[in-house]
Structure 1
Amino acid sequence: MKNDQASSTAYTVLQGILHVAQASPYSYLVEDEVVELGQQILQGTEEGRKRLKQLATPMFTWSVKFRERLVLPGITLHYILRKRHVEAISQQAIEEDSVTQVVMLGAGFDTLSWRFHKRYPHVNFIEIDHPATQKAKVAGLNPGGASNMHFLSVDFAHQTLQHELSHFAGFEPERKTLFICEGVMMYLPEQAVHVLFKSIRALTGAGSLFLFSTLEPRNSQRNTIPSLLYYHLKLIGEPIAWSIDSERMADFIQQHDCELKSLAGRDALLERFVKDDRKLHLHSGEYFTLCEYK
């Protein structure tokens, strides 16, 4: 990603979600509000408007099917399942675990915080992302003066989470906080992963919740991601840097005095959110971890 351009991945994920909503048997997984906000975000930039026009063409539907067959089976459905899981965990954290602050790291064009800040006015929401990506998102949302919705631009190539968030006026360290890091951790070297865990503890301490996704190792039987995607990511300068077997996750987070609360991979997400039992050609490999700092 160029420093002055919004993330291409953010556009692609949102475009995939809107595609599922309008041209997929799984459209029931995408709420109308998500569609409306997604279209609103894309309308805010020239690149976004181009992506909206692509969605309206039959050629786009064909190209999605071709790319999924060639590179990663079921990736657009996977986007939706990820979002639904993050939303379910967030809702449970707020309604059952007394969380009153949600911090999204690398939020992209996700609409969760924007939707939830109206539903839960007592909860403080903070989105952290690269300045160019966040600028494009805010241009579409036109957030105004919502007192419990905050946007913090951070370029992690030159800034650290702990420093920037601890000096941010919208952050309240005394609140019980849920940190969310979806689709990011696999691109971080392991040392940066350890730093992130330490930063969260320093920011909010015991009782904090951390929800993140990462990958099973490439040689794992639970990882069916084709080699072609790994080569593609390396080619575009976004290689996979960290993966860990889900069976080792409890021991890994114990290094940071965290307790494992749940793990959820492809099968768990399908069982929870997909209504029918048709045989899906959907890759596996990415999984979610929810842990709590002790």
Structure 2
Amino acid sequence: MRGIDYLASFKPMSCHSGTSYTAVRVSAGHINIEVQEEVAQHGMTIVTGANPSVGLVGWLTGGGHGPLSTSYGMGADNLLEATIVTPNGEVVLANPCQNQELFFAIRGGGGGTFGIITEVVIRTFPTPKTTAHIFQVRLKDSGRGTDFYKFLGFLHADMQRLKEGGMQGYYLVVGPPIVPTLSFSWTFLLYNAPSGAVELLMEPIEAYLQERKQVFEWQSVISHTDTYLEMHKANFTNEQVANGGSAYGSRLLSAESLANPHLTAIVFSKIGPTDDAFEPNVKDLSSG
């Protein structure tokens, strides 16, 4: 099922009033990067996941978050209309104005749970100028896990400030045997940000690390592109599969839940990883 059509003005079927959107009609056989490349020809972008080869329809029916989500919402938020084959073989159109319950269900209810989606219409947005910030921190020596998790507690208490300053994206916390010592890295993005925005936002964090330079080493790299697609191709590639023993999870956490750096440090120290390659995750979560 192939086909991508950019729509300069779209209103869902049977919706006689309300807003018209710029959008793209996508058949179910397309992956994220194919749609991004097509809409980029019109100066637009869409919310997708980070991995270029993820199928767009399966991704958004699971909710779907990505590097643009803080600005433009989840994948499910940007679904305007879908063509669905129901279990009894009927082909139906679902949107906010017809088959509303089915439309609600497929926006996060899981791909294929309520029918087979053959085509979707997704909202598009003008592509922003994009700043990418790659930030990496690691312990200089193993055995300093307490210092590492104190840093994570401090950093997460600061996430709301970073978010309000325009930063959004992904981060990873890893340890041995994947890397020699406990390490943290993010790829955070800012859209249409003024010059020097990253440097200003990073001042308190770099000051924290500078005061502890005997414990940590870090790297900060900033780059700028004129379009979101250029940034995406430069910074996000497909994750390798079945080449190690790591499992990563995604979480949506409120600023309030991260406000106490001491408690956050304790939580992270309990859920791992550790600096022991033979026991990468703490087993006993009952105490503390």
TM-score range relative to shorter protein = under 0.3
Bigger Rg, structure 1 or 2: 2
TM superposition score normalised by structure 2:
0.25
Greater fraction of residues in strand: 2
